[in-house]
Each structure stands twice: as C-alpha cells, then as structure tokens.
Structure 1
Amino acid sequence: MPRGSGNEDPTPTGDGPAHADYGPGKVHRTRRRSLRIVAWGALGVVVLGGGGTAYAWSHLNGNVKGVDINSVLGHDRPKEEAGGAENILLMGSDSRAGTHGEYGHDVSGARSDTTMVLHIDKTHKKASVVSIPRDTMVKRPDCAKPGGGTAKGASKAMFNESYQVGGPACTVKTVEQMSGVRMDHYVEVDFKGFQKLIDQLGGVDVTTKQAIHDPDSHLDLAAGKHTLKGKQALELVRTRHGVGDGSDLGRIQLQQTFIKALTRKVNSLDLLSNPAKAYGLADTATKTVSADSGLASADKLLGLAKELKGINPGHMDMVTMPVTYDPNDQERVIPVEKNAQQVWKALRDDKPIPKSAEKASVGDKGKSPVTSGT
C-alpha cells in the first residue's frame, strides 16, 4: 500500500506479523495495551483472604491461566538475581496464552504487541520499566513450537515474531538472549479485559497539554483534564499519529505515561471498604491474565500487586530500549548496542538506568503531551 495513503486497516488481523512503521509518513496501525493492570488486579483478593471465603478464593485461582515455560527454556539461561531483586516480562496480546496449561498455545493470528521488562529493585521500593519496540530487529534463538517441533532461529528477525513462532516462552528466551537479564516471571494481559477493568475502576485521570485528534485510533481529546473510561483509554494507548512525530516510539511514551496514571488510580483505591467491588475487579483481572506457572495463582499475583502498590510512581523509572532506524529498512529499528547494554547492565546490577543511555535513541524525545493525574 502506498505510503501515507490513509487506507490502511486500523485493526490488522491474520497470521503474519503486524507492522508498526517508524519512518516519516507511515500510517500502519497496531494494537497496544497498557500493562500495569496485570498485577494490581489481584489486589482485590486481599479482602477475601481474611474472610475465609474458600469458594471465592478457589474461583479466582481458577481464573488465572498458568504456562510452564521453565521446562521449555531449560538451564542455558542468565543467572538468577541475588538479593531480592526481580525481573518480570510484561506482555499485552490479542489472545491468552496457556489456555490448556501448556507452555504455549496456537498463536496463529495472535500477537504480542507490547513488551516491557519490569525490574523491581532489592528494596522493593523502586522499579524500572524498559519498553522494547515491537519492530526492533534482533537475533532470534531457536524456539520450541507450541504444537511440537522447533522454530529455527534467525540472525535478524522482528522482535514480536518470537511470540508468533513460539509463544511466551520464545519471547522470554529472546529477551534473555539480547539482555543477559533473567526473567523470573512473565505476565500476559489480554486485550479483551482491559476496557472492562478501566470501566470498573471508574476511569483513569490524565491531563492533555494539547488537543489530540487521531482519526486512526479515533481518539479526540481537547487540551485539559480528563477521566478516561475503557474505550478512550484504549484509544490513548493506541494513538500514534495524533502526537509527536507520529512514530511508534511516541506511542510507547504515551503508554508509559498512562501506566503511571493507572498506578496513581490503583494506589488511591480503598478496596477494603467495598468488598463487592474488590471481588469484581479481581475476578475480571484474573480472567484477563496469563502467567508462568510460578506466578499463576490469585495469592501469588496478590503478593506481586502488594509489592507494586508500595512503589510510588515517582520511583518508577520508565525508558525505551535505545534504538535507531535500521539502515536497511526505515520501517524497522535496531538496538543502539552500547547504550542498550548500559540499560541491561543497570538491571543486572540492580542500579538506576543511567540517563546517558537514553540519549542515543531515535524517536520522539520531547516530553509527553499527556501527564498522569489531573
């Protein structure tokens, strides 16, 4: 399709990789998700723990779909974090993984379009979140196929193809290979539950510094304060052409801002005073989540949620892996290796990510046109 024709399908489907183009004038669309929602959904379970509601607790545990990826990944992995720090791979996808309790699933037509590495420091008071652009060209390792057999690796492949060929286990393997950081867990959120959760929360507060009009995502916001309900929240995290230089990297910036706004909203909740609402939130959230088998229960997600709830948004450092345009294809990006390795080393060493690491990255380097809170 010609560049800038404006006729691209806004909700791509099919088995092939979706394209999120980075060059000027590109107007391909992709779905994006806000991922902070994965862990906090289990917060509602806390009101059930002291109430002895065995049936409700069992029901919530049954909602969470577990995927055994450790048996697939084997032992050739980066070393585990020492001292209490944790690394969790967060993904947003079009369909849930692990429906049958296996390490993967038939990913035909499914895609993981949002991937973030969440690093919780050893004090569990600070966190770093590193977004990995979906169209980053990386070395993909050999991966087990969910249906059997092996998907041959590639010396240069689009990052989100890992999920398509091998499900969440292949995505974890690719991230570990490129970063040298071991993923202790992974959590995946399905698109379908996102909108309902935001609505159940009563919306999320943001402030737009300028009007945002994006005919592709259908977002139409005047400058000022807004409480975004589920539909508008989805439009915001999918918006690209209405802000900055129109690149997918600018959209990641919006997603990160929305995550902070969502964090503030969740931290303001008093679920203990409203058990019915707490249970409804927890029920929806756990139905939306898939996780590795070590984290796939309501009580374990609750523990993670409590950890994240204790982290002030001001102590959450959010960056994008440093990338530059691929000289062979301006619709793709490649890591700026020296700077990307600074990011990964900081996570391995449980240190803050140096600001110098971000300066080499292309994309929208200005401040986000949206701020968290009103």
Structure 2
Amino acid sequence: MVTSIKGGEKAIDASHRIVAKRRRGDPNVARLSVEQIREQLSLAVDRVMNEGSLYDPTLAALAIKQSEGDLIEAIYLLRAYRSTIPRFGFTKPLDTAAMLVRRRISTTHKDIPGGQFLGPTYDYTHRLLDFSLMQDEEDEDGLPVQAVEQGGSLTLRHDAGFLNRTDLVEDELPADDRPVADLTREPMNFPSSRDQRLQNLVRGDEGFLMGLCYSTMRGYGRNHPYVAEMRHGDVSVTLDIPEIGLEVGIGTIGVTECRTIHLTVGKPDIPPHYTRGYGLLFGHCERKALSVAVVDRALRGAEFGEEKRYPSQDEEFVLSHSDSVAASGLVQHLKLPHYVDFQAEQQLLKQLREDYNKRARRAASKEHDHD
C-alpha cells in the first residue's frame, strides 16, 4: 500500500531546488552536456535505452544527466516519456544476419566462417585505473576505431562452424504469423510465451539477470553455456507502409546479439543434443545479452523435460522480480509516510500481546492449581 500525503508543497519545492543545485555541482567546473554523456558514456546510455524500452541515445543521455547518474531513475524517466509517445506503425523484424559487424566472436570454434573480430571490448584490458584519463587534452588513444579494419563492412552468417549443418543443435524456431507480444501495452501472462519472456528479460535489471545467470553456472540449474556467437553492430530498421505497398528503411540502430548453446540430456525419447538461448538488445551490452540468453534457456527447461528446481527455472519468480523500475518503486515507497499503517499495526500488536499475556496467566494459574 502506497500512502499518499497532502500538503508540504513548499518543502517539496525546496527539495527540488536542492536537487537541481546538487546536480549542477561546483559552478566553477564546466557543465556536463547531454552530448558528452551520449558520446562518452555510451555503455550507460545503452543500458538505459534497453531497460527503458526506447531507442533514443540523446533522450537516454538526458535522463542520465537529470537523474545525476542514477541509472534506475534514468530508466524510469525514459519509460515515463515513452508512455506519452503515439505509435504510428510497426517495423519489420530485424535482419541481424545483415548486420554491419563491429565486433563478432565465438567461443565454440577458433576458426569460424568470416573470422573473429575482437572490436571494442574490455575483455583483455588490465583492471587498473588509467590516470591519463584525468587529463583534459585529447591523445592518440582517443582515436576512433576504423570500422573497415574491424570487419564493419562485412555481412556474416550466424553461428559457428559445422554446428548449423548437423543435428547436434536444435533447429531455429520457424517464423509464424502470431502477433508479437508487447509488454509496454499488455501485462505479462503466465504461463508466458517466449517472446514475452525475451522482452521482459531485455527490460530487466542487468545485475539481477547476471546473478541468475551466475547461479545457473554454479550448479543451480544445470545450464553451463557456450557462446556460439556474440555480435555487435548496426542493423537497418524497415517500416512496412501498406498504403503504398512498400517497405521503407527508416534508419539504423546499434544492437548486440548473443546466441548460446547448452548441452541437454533431454527427454527419454530424444537423443542428447545442444539447445539454444538467445538475447538481442539495443546498443553494446554484451554482459547483459549473455545473461539474457542463459536465463532464456533456463526458462525453457519444461520444453526439454527438465525438473524445475531452481530460481532461474521459475518463470514467475524471474519475470515478476527482474524489472528494476517495479522493484525500485516498491522498495522506495517505504520512504513515504506510513503513519496510519504503523498505528494500525501497533494496535494489532498491542491486542496480540494482551491475548498472549492472558494465555500465559491462565497457563500459570492452571500449573499453580495442579501443584
């Protein structure tokens, strides 16, 4: 129960002014611009876009600035804004096989068709503070990565090596004509469909999902994955305009796609094979894409006759608790006034204690009479 209050407008206005002053910080330090956040804090921007369900780097950067870097608050701001935007059409499914690749790796094979492209990654960096970043001057390390050298102009087929050409891995699910679920307009249903689950996971809190992924790898889910392919790059967005009978490209967006494979003993009537997990997210967010793919596979356990024993396999637990905005709202409402609730609870507690004391006195009286 969220308790509403009346009055206190002056105090609230004063709080807003204090927040604005704290956000600005020392006036002798240059103001941080939205453009700087968008261009130099791109990984934070990508996370806010994913969990805010809106691809707009500039608005995500504005939300980060407005929230003083509190990403959950920024996600909340972006979702609130998204709810005010009219919908005028539906784009076609993204063709990630036609992605202009900036980064692409596979952990199942060293040599894969098209090659491996390390691209931008922190995977091989030393976790040491780089004090040269405290300097204001630009240096050679700030030069942009050349897309052509990193394979940015290549179109690479999915998955690695021979796996797609054997029956070792389950087939990709065929496309169908069912309407795709939209969690921004419709509530989650249980049992859920996979498209609902994947949307929920993309909108879910990265830390929560990473913890669930970690739990499966430590034995709470029998779900150790291999990364068949991780790719990051740009894909075209196409809009179908039925009035003129044309499909029109309306731009490109950056995405990260992760495909995992998992050894599955399976049902008694099906031979052991590899099954799939999948994650597709805005921007460059490999850690979350991998977490989404692993949790996606964990939630598919019923398809393969696996017993539901662990949190990562329970769709109601995972999907009902992964949303950072919902979680933050319920947790932070505890800071609002609960005077009436607390007084009612105190009265209940007082009555319970009186009942307890009466029972204790009766019990002591009976024991005394028995003696």
TM-score (norm 2): 0.23
Q: More helix per residue: 1 or 2?
A: 2
Q: Which has the higher contact order (CA 8 A, sep 6+)?
A: 1
